[in-house]
Amino acid sequence: MPFSAESYFQTQTPPTTLQHDTDAVREFVQRQTRDGKKIVLVTSGGTTVPLELNVVRYLDNFSAGTRGATSAEYFLSAGYAVIFMHRQFSLQPFSRHYSHSTNPFLDFLEVEPPSPSDPDAVPRISVIKENREFLLRVLAAYRDAHSKGTLLTLTFVTINDYLFLLRAVSEQMASLGRRSMYYLAAAVSDFFLPTQRLSEHKIQSGKGSLQIEMDQVPKILKPLVSEWTREGFVVSFKLETDPKLLIPKARMALERYGHHVVIGNDLARRKFEVLFVSRVPRTVIDAGQSPTGPPIDSTIIEPVTDAPPTQSGADYTETWLILEEKDRNSVEIEEGIVDRLVKMHDAWIEAGPRIP
């Protein structure tokens, strides 16, 4: 029998940090509610699947957390409070601009020699001139988020940490009703090994080849949408490597879970091209596709023209958001994604019942 969400949470062990994180989220939600903020939960990075209890080996995936970390910054600048739930050591808002692999921080700096006329002077470190404007912008946004307390960062490592934490955070955010958004960009494992079947110690190699049968991870979007957060605006991501699958799989997800938007992306083209698929009321969609034109100058919104007919007869809206070729090294597609979702979310809030 595959695990349902319910049987999963009954049989698997919550992470030891869960209560601490839940308390932090409760306090954050209460404070942001008092300040009249909308809150977005951004999930980011990949989950691991441990193969042993005393874990030496695990399965992982490619996600660096770029989408989530970048989007979190744009949500903050759009006035949202952000719960940034990310894989430990994956990219984070602000510090992503100088990660250890791209743009090492030390490369931003230069040393000014001490003045020969002052015997007590020491060398000074400063930011290289051409990086100053950019770093000042990042620093100002970082300081703003910290001084206002609008960013709460939580970490997960395993698929188990992720599932327990997602449920806890969603339950805490439920009180926000329509003023909450869920932006589920993490790359979450589809398969796992239940604790009960994990080898306690490091798997030994003496027995030749290794065969592991994994269980399917329960489809967590279903309870998230229908039980944990009834009114939240829910956006999930769908990654494929075969572009033909994007539209059918995105539609299937909306059909199955009844949420608001699926953003489809092809692995190789994800940094400059995403597909929006939604089934939300017309007014909400129109807001996302502002009649005054694309959200930012460098993005093109193109209706999908080659979509197969829907099997259920449902009315989907499918559009590509594409970065123009000339802008692909200087503009981040997340700016367009967030801009569009914020408009859709506002229309969703406007269309719905007011929160007491």
Cα 45 to Cα 89: distance, rounded to the nearest angstrom:
9
Query: What mask, x for binding ligand PAZ by CB under 6 A, covers residues 250 to 269?
Result: ---------------x----
Q: CB of residue 12 vs ligand PAZ: minimum separation in angstroms? A: 20
Interface with ligand PAZ (CB under 6 A), residue from 32, 47, 63, 92? 63
Q: Compute the C-alpha angle 8/10/15, nearest 5°.
A: 80
Inter-helix orientation angle 129-148/66-77, to 10°: 70
Interface with ligand PAZ (CB under 6 A), residue from 270, 302, 328, 352? 270
Strands 81-87 and 39-44: parallel
Interface with ligand PAZ (CB under 6 A), residue from 237, 276, 316, 348? 237
Q: Does 37 bind ligand PAZ (CB under 6 A)?
A: no
Nearer of residues 125 and 267 to ligand PAZ, judged by Cβ = 267
Cα 164 to Cα 161: distance, rounded to the nearest angstrom:
6
Q: CB of residue 256 vs ligand PAZ: minimum separation in angstroms? A: 14
Helix, strand or coil for residue 285? helix
Interface with ligand PAZ (CB under 6 A), residue from 86, 97, 167, 238? 238
Q: Does 188 bind ligand PAZ (CB under 6 A)?
A: yes
Nearest Cα neighbor of 187 from 274, 321, 65, 85 is 65
Q: Does 67 bind ligand PAZ (CB under 6 A)?
A: yes
Point out which residues pair with 240 in neighbouring strands.
266
Cα 277 to Cα 229: distance, rounded to the nearest angstrom:
21
Cα 233 to Cα 67: distance, rounded to the nearest angstrom:
19
- Please count the residues of this chain forming the interface with ligand PAZ, following the rule CB under 6 A: 13
* Binding positions for ligand PAZ, 271-310, rule CB under 6 A: none
Span of 3-11, 131-139, 233-241, 338-346 interacting with ligand PAZ by CB under 6 A: 233-241
Nearer of residues 62 and 291 to ligand PAZ, judged by Cβ = 62
**Residue 222 tokens, joined:** 């279903």
Q: Does 64 bind ligand PAZ (CB under 6 A)?
A: yes
Cα 94 to Cα 142: distance, rounded to the nearest angstrom:
6
Q: If you ran DSSP here, which 8-state letter would residue 227 be given?
A: I
Span of 145-153, 163-171, 223-231, 237-245 interacting with ligand PAZ by CB under 6 A: 237-245
Question: Where on the chain is the footprint of ligand PAZ (CB under 6 A)?
Answer: 63-67, 185, 187-188, 237-239, 265, 270
